[in-house]
């Protein structure tokens, strides 16, 4: 399990390929660029907790979630 969050996330996790589970926040996801380790992985499953946080399709968090490459998306609330 990798907790991809905080100011040192890119130093601690230059690659996330070896992890079965990656935890992060909506704000971290929204602030990541195309070169981020998060954007370089095709995930099997993306689980978004507190789904009401991304219901506004114009929000950065919603757009960031939609940009992630994954086979399945689960939204919980």
Name the helix (H) or strand (E) containing 64: helix 60-67
pLDDT digits (tens, 9 = 90+) for 41-58: 999 999 999 999 999 999
Residue 27, Cβ neighbours under 10 Å: how many?
12
Taking Cα atoms as reference points, which of 11, 71, 3, 64 lies closest to residue 33? 64
Q: What is the pLDDT of residue 31?
A: 94
Q: What is the pLDDT of residue 70?
A: 95
DSSP letter assigned to residue 30 = H
pLDDT digits (tens, 9 = 90+) for 6-28: 999 999 999 999 999 999 999 99
DSSP letter assigned to residue 29 = H
Q: Strand 2-3 to strand 22-23: parallel, antiparallel, or no bridges (unpaired)?
A: parallel
Whether 77 shows a pLDDT value over 90: the answer reads no
């Amino acid at each position: 399990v990798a907790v991809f969050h905080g100011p040192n996330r890119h130093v601690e996790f230059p690659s996330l390929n070896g992890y079965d589970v990656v935890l992060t926040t909506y704000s971290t996801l929204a602030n990541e660029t195309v070169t981020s380790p998060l954007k370089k992985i095709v995930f099997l499953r993306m689980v978004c907790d507190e789904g009401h946080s991304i219901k506004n399709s114009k929000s950065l968090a919603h757009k960031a979630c939609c940009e992630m490459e994954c086979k399945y998306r689960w939204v919980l609330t």
